[in-house]
Structure 1
Amino acid sequence: MSSIRALSQELAARSDAALRELFLARPDLVSPPVPDFAALAARACARISVQRALDTLDTPHLQVLEAVLVYHEFSEQPAANSATLKALITGSSKAGVEKILRDLNSLALLYRDSGGFSPVSSLYEVIGAHPAGLGRSYSELARPAQDWMRTTAAGLGLENTEPAQALAARFEQQDWWSALLAEAPEKTIELLARFEEGPLGLVPKSRRSSRAGQGADRSPSPLDFLLDHGILVPLDAEHVELPREAGIAWREGRLISHFESKPPIAHTVSASAARRDNAALGSIAEVLREIGVLLTAIAQQPLPTLRTGGVGVRALRPLAQQLESDVSRVSVLLELSAAAGLIVLDADTSSWTAELAWWDWPREEQWLRLALGWLRLQRSPALVGQAVPGGQGTINLLAAEGRRADAPQLRQLLLQTLAQLTETSAAEAVIAVEPDSLLASVKWQRPRLWRRLRRLAPGILAEAELLGLTGSGALTDFGRLLSRGQAEQAAASLREQLPAAISTVLLQADLTAIAPGFLEPRLSAELSVLADREGQGPAATYRFSASSLRRALDAGREPARILDFLSTHSSTAIPQPLEYLIRDTAARHGLLRVEGVSSVIRSPDEALLSSLLHETALQALGLHELAPGVLGSQASPAELARALRELGMAPALGGADQQPAPAQRSLATAGIEAEPEETAEPGAAFAEQIASLRSKPAGVPANSAVVPQLSIETLREAIRSHRTVRLTVVDGSGNPERLRLVPLAVSNGRVRVFDPERDTERVMSIHRIVDVDILDEADKAGKKP
């Protein structure tokens, strides 16, 4: 029976509580809602949904599931149960396997079948060609290695049967495998041991041309021996594969040779809570200061984007010099800023601009926005500067190549695992987990997710340390709260631990300002404009100079305002040398002025332009007269044109030469994507969905939208098992026709088949297929050579 039909009937028989548990574990099954149980079963069997479900499985659940897949293929009774699987999984127990089978069944990855469990059909496609680390069978390898199999079988005296079947049948002979290994050359066992983790092998360059020149009197190498006896199958000149039958024989008849029922032992060390907190709080203070400096700089000079996407290194170097840091740290800080919404992409100017609300927030709120933005960020800041996979150049800051949709899952998993492993930490002595142990635990909990994202883990741990979620490798109290989803409690915990912010500095005659501790955000940001920071840490020194003061004057600061600011925030009077430097620099500043204009308005009607200058609705655009008949504005041309149209005018948008302005370049930079915030308890929505399902029949109606998916499922099963099908198809006039064909591939709504009667291949649309039946008899003539 089709897995969709069987699963549909099984889901309909489940209790409401069981369905609710399924929806909680796999929420994508009911988002959006499904009309009936047939549609629910079809969605549960869909590739993308199955892939998401597999990403949540730990190692023992995945091992048992892959063992079920292999067992389902080679066993005469494909429904697996705990008794049969226990004998095939080394180190397992019947009770443990039974519990895992029930868990997989509750997730709708297995369905009940003839006293056991069978896998949904899409699992074969999602898990791939090598479940349980075993290779493809000889029959599956016959197509890519047909000539080699024919030659090898003949050389071994296996000419009376089909080569793939003959090579596979040898493993059913008692003691044949042990006898073969007994006569094998030295180190053959070591070579086979290399295939324990996977069936594919790379042939050394020194061996690729040696076989042709090997003399008859020369003893074969282990590789030559295994190839000559059909134990390894060459895929090409460089790669070999250990067939499934040989892999199972090597594992002494077991499908899983090492069952990892328990997580690896974590190696921990004791650490001082004071040391952890000092490291974390110091890192937080420095990050908040650096973010403030960056936002101030970007507010004055937005970051331009490259035509290829992202922000180039050239635009980052001045920021790195201002922070006295390197470009890689600036890149991480800017990625965090974008994740928190502190810098946004202006589509009109193709540049990143700063949001200035940062200084209105208390420090714990600043930290929380950065930490939450990082947790939900569907990007990996650590990838910036690395080579583009499969392309040229490196990944730019805020470029689309840095997107990793699964990164939030890995961040949450790392923090939660670290919290679980350090649950026994005391108030004064905390537990830190060695990085290798932490990563091994994460790998055990989510092996499939780990395979895709393992190279991101070191960067994530470094970013967690940067944000103070960990200190000296140990999870902080507010980091633990954040890992549990308690954001407000985490901010409150940080607020209690942060030292009180200081609102005054000590001005000295050597043109320096001494900050004796953590400064208020606005004070720190303004000092960074007026002076250059020296040194790191909370107790910093700011040095005033003519160049730093010119920078402040260029940013719009007036000398009287600067003196007033320093007088307000200094614990002593302003030293005379500093006051003289400020006034002298201001007197020399502005003899020549350079002003920026984003757009201009030209008109011969000076009365109209004069009215625009006094128009209240346009005051925010910074209109000012540049010359007779010309007004300048700080707004972009598109923004200025919109404002004029809202006043009932009809401006022409054009360049200085009166020609239409060129089209805005397309932005290769993708917007910063984050996981949506968790919604409210979905209990009500689940209840509505269950009520809707109960009102519909349990089976698959003849006119159901699921019928095409049933046909695809049957075709893929026939492709996987190399069997012939009988298709009922209709032509353009609706006339049915029954055909006996061998399906080869299914993709994009089409199926490619081999017609043995015409000895040709055909491509057919899925929507023209009315029915699919797999024929019981083997169709050797229908197999394409």
Structure 2
Amino acid sequence: MTSTLSLAERLGGLDDESLHDLIDGRGLTRSRIEDFFDLADALLEPPSVQHALAPLPRPVLAALAALAEHGGAATAEQAAECLRSWGATDVSTSSVRDDLNALVDAFLAEQVAGPVNAADADGDGDGPGDSANGSEPVFALYPGVAARFTGWADGDGMPGRKLAASGKPAALASVPDVDRRFVDRLAAERAFVAAGAVAEFVYELEREPARELQKGGLALPDTRRIASALGIEAEDVATVHWLADSSGLVSREGAVWLPTDAAEAWAALSTPERWARLAGTWLDSVPADIRPLMVERAHASWGDALRGYARWRYPAADASLDRRVNEVEAHAEFLGITANAAPSTAGITLLQRGPDAAADVLRAAFPAEVDRVYVQHDLSIVAPGPLIPSLDARLRTLADAEGTGLAASFRVSPSSLHRAIAAGETAQSLRDFIGSISLTGLPQPVAYLIDEAASRYGRVRVRAADSSSGAGSVVHSGDHELLNTIAVDQSLAALGLRPASDAELTSRFPIDVAYWALVDAHYPVVAEDADGRQLRVRRRLGHPEPRESTDTAQLVVQRLRSAVSTEGQGGAEAWLNRQLESAVRSRTIVTVTVALPDGRELEFTLEPTGLGGGRLRGRDRASDIERTLPVASIRAVRTT
């Protein structure tokens, strides 16, 4: 039978990754786990066992009930017979064996050799658990698992007979073809809007970072600002934020959220490719216990029926199951994977074939994108439809976005043109680009503004201050009147500008902060190095901050490895004593290797009865006599 000793031995054979996943999956927070015996004890505590029961599907719980009914140990055939006696009609020995192996994988049971029950304990070799005769292996529950399961079944759960009964919810009705067309049309609209909203979210954070609250989530003023800029409801901002963060497009730095380097490459993708990245993020986020349910119900409505099926499938799960299903469904609705709780054709394809295949389905359903715009005399640029993403991205470098969506609008201004020139554009390249995309040519006011911006560009220059000066940056200009205007500009008061000479102002802030403050205040500023060469200064990018590790599971793994690798005789003796103490306490049959004075080693299979005075006492199973062995001569212990 199983014991804490056999579990500790099994745990000792795991690699670091498997140990980490097990400890983390069980939610173990006990600080005093110093060796594998402590870990085995922690895994068999009632809260940990209940934690392991929660994600188990109904058939696996029924198989566990069958083992408990057999006193904690049975073959797959015996468990299958028990389930059939309870009314199960769709079980086979093979399927039950798979379910029992799932219990083994969950560290609730293990395969053992030997008799299954007391009737087979005489060692006659005819018991169903006797491995020598080639019979089925025996699956046995670890100590305490059956008791915890029974406690759950008698309390908020259900007995094995009810678990084994089919009672499966009726198959959900498939979405009719006439509804499918409506679902696909609505889903395509949502998918297009979602991809655009995430892009606008990244652009908005580049323009002005958003503050993170201490309790989590974006600050309310920033949420409202972003919702207005994106043209969505405030409650949807959290979903957009989650998608951008999970896709690696934004990152928190300090107390603010900023775009990452990856955002620029993503923004240059086509709309279907953008959506595919976001849909892949959603698919990866679906919990392992929920995803199979969605695949199984891919052609039927979700909503209440899916939540009901999830509760039926995982009867030991707590109230968080509904919450997790709701969260996954809410994100699916926003992305157009579903529409009104019905999976779209793209959503079905996503579940079955992946993001790229799903994006191909949506490509034809998305609105046609345009590569031409109307450039008007009032300095506005109006798109007659959704812009090609690459064109939209370049327009944002030379004009300020005023409206987004299917018909975006922009406005050219001196500061926006200065921004474009700072990014490498010239007056001629701006003229050529606008002329190539304009359906109305290059209006004279726009051409004039380009020439004026190019001529004024660089009248204000900012560079990093000398380290010995105590300042962060220096702003200088040959236009003294312009410099005086900057010095008294209240919009720049936060920079704390102080005169250093008639041609210079200093600030304690670094060059990038001073540069972008001047750009946002509409001054023709250039960033330069110490030799006067122009620098390209990008707005702040988010970089994940190094944080102190809070990975409790990893810390436990490190302690376990340290305990096992303890050098010296003392460490080996401590481990051996823990094994013997556990075997005596649980009356687990063990095989001990004993060193004889002449150098030979003998093995004895004992049922231990006591440990004390440096000696192990137990009944020898082979000769049926009591033996007393000196602990100092025992070299190894293993469960049989």
Bucket of the pairwise TM-score, normalised by the shorter protein:
0.5 to 0.7
Which whole-Å deviations, capped at 9, do the CAs of 1:461-512 have from their partners, x for residues lacking one? Answer: 1211222323454434443343246444344444455455321123567876
In the alignment, structure 1 residue 124 sits paired with structure 2 residue 145? yes
State the Cα distance separating 1:70 from its structure 2 match.
5.7
Distance of aligned partners of 1:126 and 1:517 in 2 relative to their CA distance in 1, 3 Å threshold: farther
The match for 1:270 is: 176
User: SS of 1:352's equivalent?
Assistant: strand
Q: How many residues align?
A: 464
1:440 and 1:409 map into 2 onto residues whose CA distance is: 17
Matches within 5 A, 1:75-94: 81-84=79-82, 86-87=84-85, 89=86, 91-93=87-89
Which whole-Å deviations, capped at 9, do the CAs of 1:60-116 have from their partners, x for residues lacking one? Answer: 33133135336638x9x9x964445544x3x325x7275554233333336462447
Over aligned residue pairs, what C-alpha RMSD do you find? 5.8
1:708 and 1:271 map into 2 onto residues whose CA distance is: 66
In the alignment, structure 1 residue 570 sits paired with structure 2 residue 438? yes
Which whole-Å deviations, capped at 9, do the CAs of 1:723-752 have from their partners, x for residues lacking one? Answer: xx987478xxxx6799xxxxxxxxxxxxxx
User: SS of 1:96's equivalent?
Assistant: coil
The match for 1:206 is: none
State the Cα distance separating 1:311 from its structure 2 match.
3.8
Distance of aligned partners of 1:350 and 1:334 in 2 relative to their CA distance in 1, 3 Å threshold: closer
The match for 1:72 is: 71
Which whole-Å deviations, capped at 9, do the CAs of 1:404-453 have from their partners, x for residues lacking one? Answer: xxx5325633532333xx2xxxxxxxxx4242222233334444457543
State the Cα distance separating 1:532 from its structure 2 match.
1.9
Match of 2:330 among 459, 462, 478: 462
State the Cα distance separating 1:53 from its structure 2 match.
7.2
User: SS of 2:288's equivalent?
Assistant: helix
Distance of aligned partners of 1:365 and 1:511 in 2 relative to their CA distance in 1, 3 Å threshold: same
In the alignment, structure 1 residue 103 sits paired with structure 2 residue 9? no
The match for 1:370 is: 278
- Is the Cα–Cα contact under 8 Å of residues 507 and 513 in structure 1 kept in the other structure? yes
Which whole-Å deviations, capped at 9, do the CAs of 1:155-190 have from their partners, x for residues lacking one? Answer: xxxxxxxxxxxxxxxxxxxxxxxxxxxxxxxxxxxx
State the Cα distance separating 1:59 from its structure 2 match.
1.3
Which whole-Å deviations, capped at 9, do the CAs of 1:297-332 have from their partners, x for residues lacking one? Answer: 222333344455554333333222212323321221
The match for 2:291 is: 412
State the Cα distance separating 1:120 from its structure 2 match.
1.9
The match for 2:524 is: none
2:450 and 2:20 map into 1 onto residues whose CA distance is: 69
The match for 1:542 is: 409
Match of 2:389 among 518, 521, 543: 521
1:551 and 1:260 map into 2 onto residues whose CA distance is: 72
In the alignment, structure 1 residue 2 sits paired with structure 2 residue 2? yes
Matches within 5 A, 1:612-761: 627=500, 633-634=510-511, 708=578, 728=611
State the Cα distance separating 1:713 from its structure 2 match.
8.8
State the Cα distance separating 1:633 from its structure 2 match.
3.9
State the Cα distance separating 1:575 from its structure 2 match.
5.8
The match for 1:164 is: none
The match for 1:533 is: 403
- The code of the aligned residue for 1:266 comes to A
- Is the Cα–Cα contact under 8 Å of residues 64 and 100 in structure 2 kept in the other structure? no
Distance of aligned partners of 1:311 and 1:258 in 2 relative to their CA distance in 1, 3 Å threshold: closer
After TM superposition, the score normalised by the length of structure 1 is 0.47
Distance of aligned partners of 1:106 and 1:566 in 2 relative to their CA distance in 1, 3 Å threshold: same
- The code of the aligned residue for 1:457 comes to V
The match for 2:373 is: 505
The match for 1:183 is: none
Matches within 5 A, 1:19-98: 28=18, 57-69=56-68, 72=71, 81-84=79-82, 86-87=84-85, 89=86, 91-93=87-89, 96=91, 98=93
- The code of the aligned residue for 2:97 comes to R
- Is the Cα–Cα contact under 8 Å of residues 205 and 257 in structure 2 kept in the other structure? no
- The code of the aligned residue for 2:296 comes to T
2:144 and 2:284 map into 1 onto residues whose CA distance is: 29
Which whole-Å deviations, capped at 9, do the CAs of 1:309-367 have from their partners, x for residues lacking one? Answer: 554333333222212323321221121111111112336x8653333222332333322
Which whole-Å deviations, capped at 9, do the CAs of 1:32-76 have from their partners, x for residues lacking one? Answer: 9xxxxxx9xx99995699889756642133133135336638x9x
Which whole-Å deviations, capped at 9, do the CAs of 1:652-702 have from their partners, x for residues lacking one? Answer: xxxxxxxxxxxxxx97989999xxxxxxxxxxxxxxxxxxxxxxxxxxxx9
Distance of aligned partners of 1:573 and 1:61 in 2 relative to their CA distance in 1, 3 Å threshold: same
- The code of the aligned residue for 2:400 comes to L
Matches within 5 A, 1:212-223: none
2:584 and 2:170 map into 1 onto residues whose CA distance is: 44
- The code of the aligned residue for 2:208 comes to Q
- Is the Cα–Cα contact under 8 Å of residues 337 and 343 in structure 2 kept in the other structure? yes
Matches within 5 A, 1:161-310: 198=157, 255-257=160-162, 259-261=164-166, 263-268=168-173, 269-272=175-178, 273-307=180-214
1:672 and 1:332 map into 2 onto residues whose CA distance is: 26
- The code of the aligned residue for 1:345 comes to R
Moved more, 450-459 or 111-120: 111-120
The match for 2:236 is: 329
1:459 and 1:555 map into 2 onto residues whose CA distance is: 40
1:291 and 1:443 map into 2 onto residues whose CA distance is: 33
- The code of the aligned residue for 1:68 comes to L
After TM superposition, the score normalised by the length of structure 2 is 0.56
Which whole-Å deviations, capped at 9, do the CAs of 1:232-256 have from their partners, x for residues lacking one? Answer: xxxxxxxxxxxxxxxxxxxxxx753
Structure 1 residue runs of 5 or longer lacking an equivalent are 11-22, 33-38, 136-196, 200-253, 378-406, 423-431, 610-624, 638-665, 674-701, 719-724, 739-769, 772-785
State the Cα distance separating 1:705 from its structure 2 match.
6.3
- Is the Cα–Cα contact under 8 Å of residues 298 and 353 in structure 1 kept in the other structure? yes
User: SS of 2:369's equivalent?
Assistant: coil
1:96 and 1:523 map into 2 onto residues whose CA distance is: 60
